Amino acid sequence: MSRSDLTEATAADATAGSAQDGAGAHGERAARAPGDRGAAGGGRRAGAALATAIIPARGGSQGLPGKNVARVGGVPLVARAVHAALAAERIGRVVVTTDDEEIAEVARGAGAELVERPADLAGATASSESALLHALDVLGARDRAPVTVFIQATSPFIDPADLDAAVHRVETGERDVVFAATPTHGFLWRERADDADGASAIGVNHDPGDRPRRQDRQPEFLETGAFYVLRTDGFLRARHRFFGRVGIQRVHPDTAVEIDDAADLARARALAPRVDRRLAGAVAASLARRAGTAWVADPRHPFVDVDAVATDFDGVHTDDTALVDELGRESVRVSRADGAGVARLRDAGIPVLILSAEPNPVVSRRAEKLGVDCIQGVADKGAALREWAAARGLRLDRIAYLGNDRGDIPALDAVGWPLAVPDAAPDALERARHVLERHGGHGAVRELADLVLAAREAIAVSATPRDARPADGGRDAEADDRWEGEPAPPRESRELDPAHPTREQREAISAASSAT
C-alpha cells in the first residue's frame, strides 16, 4: 500500500477529526446528518484539549492469522477498538497504524484515520511502542495532542467511560500514565526446576503457610492490555509506555479479555452477547446525547445508524413455516406490523432489500406489496448484497442485515450492522451485533425498522439549527455553559432520573442487571 492510500487525514481533516463523534464499544456509529460522511462536531466542550487514540494493528499474526479483523459480536476487532475510542468524550482523533490492506479498509469504514506502518515496524518482534512513535512522527508535532491513548485491538470489550476516566486523570496531571487493569485476589504460583526432585511450585504473591481470607487481603491488579493513556511529551522522551507516575484504571472483570489465540477468540465470542448488552445501552445514550437528543440507556435499543436495510425472508418476514394445500401450493404467515415498519423506512428514504436463497413466487409478491427490492434464488447472499450495494452507491458498513440461518452468514459478515432474530441458528447468533426481541413473522422487521428510524430521528434533531427547532422542543434559555454544538435536552426528556425512574426505565435497568 502507498502512503497516499493509507494516510487519510490532511491538516484540515485532522481539525475536523478532532470534533468527530463516533461509536460505541460494540459498534454504535456516531450521530450525524443524513448522508453526511464527515464528522458531526457536536458534544465537545469549547476549547477542550482532546486526546488522540492510536491503535497499532499489524497484518501478520503467528498465533491467530487475521486476528485483528476476526469478528467478535459481529464486528471486526479493529473496528470494535475504533468504535470504543470514537465513543469516548475526551478522545478527539482516532488513528489506526497498519501494514495490512484489509485492516486499513475495516478501520477506515469504522471512522479511523490511517497511517501506513513500515514493514520493519510490523514484524513479529517489533514493539507496539515503535509503532506509536512512528505514528506520532507522521502526525507531526503541530497536530500532536497532549495526551495519547494507546489502544490494543485484541481487547474487544473496552468501555468508553473507562477511557474517559483514564484520560481525565492524565489531563489533570494526577498521573503520567494510566492503564487498564482488573482487581484480583488470586494466589499465584510459579514452578521451578532447580532441585533434585524436579519441578517444585512456589508461591509468588503469598506465603503458602499463611493464607488470609479474601476480605483480609488487599487486591492486586491484572493488566488487561486494553489501553494505556500516556502524557505525550513524557512518552516521546521515555519511548516506553510506563514512565513517571503510573496509575491503574480499574475495569470490569468481564472486559479483561485479551485475544492471542483461537481459544481466546472463542471465549470472547461466547462472552460478547452478555458483555455487549451491558455496554450497549449506556453507549447508545451517550452518543444520542451528543447528537442532541435524549436516549434511554436500554440494552434492548442500540443506536442503529445505517443508510439501508436488507433482510432474509423465511424466518425473518415469516415464522419459518409454510402451509401447503392439496395442490402443493405454499402460503406463509407475515406480520402487518412488519409492513408498516417497511413503509416507514421507505418514507424516510431508506432502501430495503429482501434476499432469499430459494426462488418462490410468494417472496416476489410480498416484496412487490412492500415496494422493496428483491433478489432470490442466490447461493451466495454476501456476493448478491455487495452487488446490490455497489449499484446503489451504498457502503457495506452502513447497511443493517437481519438474518436467521447459516445461509445468511456471508451477508451478516459483509455488513456493519449484522442482526439476528432470537431463534436464529447458533452460527448466525454468533455473528450478530444485536439480537432482536421479536421473532420472525411476529414483528422482527418492524422492531429493526423502529431502531433504524429512532437513530435517524436523533440525527435529524442534531442536524437542525437551534433557532429552527419548534418551540415545543423544550430548549431552555440557559445555554451559556453548555457543550459546544450540543443542544439542551427536550423538556419531555427520557433521560434517567435515578431518584424517579419511569416504568420503562425501571424495566431497562432490570434487564441490564439481569444481563450481567
- Please give the model's pTM, rounded to 2 decimal places: 0.67
Q: How far apart are CA 319 and CA 340, in angstroms?
A: 17
| Helix, strand, coil share (%) of the chain residues, nearest 5 | 40, 20, 45
Cβ distance 397 to 23 under 8 Å? no
pLDDT attached to residue 194 = 65
Q: How far apart are CA 267 and CA 270, in angstroms?
A: 5
Sign, CA dihedral 16-392-26-69, equals negative
> Per-residue DSSP letters for 420-467?
E-TT--HHHHHH-SEE-SSPTTTTHHHHHHHHHHHHHHHHHHHHS-GG
pLDDT attached to residue 478 = 35
Cβ distance 89 to 286 under 8 Å? yes
pLDDT tens profile 356-389: 998 888 899 999 999 999 999 999 999 999 999 9
Cβ distance 115 to 95 under 8 Å? yes
Question: First vs last Cα of the chain: how many Å apart?
Answer: 43
* Whether the predicted pLDDT of 42 surpasses 60: no
* Whether the predicted pLDDT of 117 surpasses 80: yes
Q: How far apart are CA 299 and CA 75, in angstroms?
A: 17
pLDDT attached to residue 114 = 94
**Which CA distances in Å does 129 have to 111, 247, 257, 461?**
23, 19, 21, 42
- Compute the mean pLDDT over every residue in the chain, rounded to the nearest whole number: 78
Residue 363 phi, psi dihedral angles, 5° rounding: -65, -45
Nearest 5°: CA angle at 456, between 114 and 113? 5
Read off the DSSP letter of residue 402: E
pLDDT tens profile 267-308: 998 888 778 877 766 566 665 555 555 555 555 677 788 999
Read off the pLDDT band of 456 (50, 70, 90): confident
Q: How far apart are CA 334 and CA 343, in angstroms?
A: 15
**Which CA distances in Å does 101 have to 106, 194, 426?**
9, 48, 30
Reported as half-sphere exposure (CB side, CA atoms, 13 A), residue 101 has a value of 4
pLDDT tens profile 300-333: 677 788 999 999 999 999 998 888 877 777 788 8
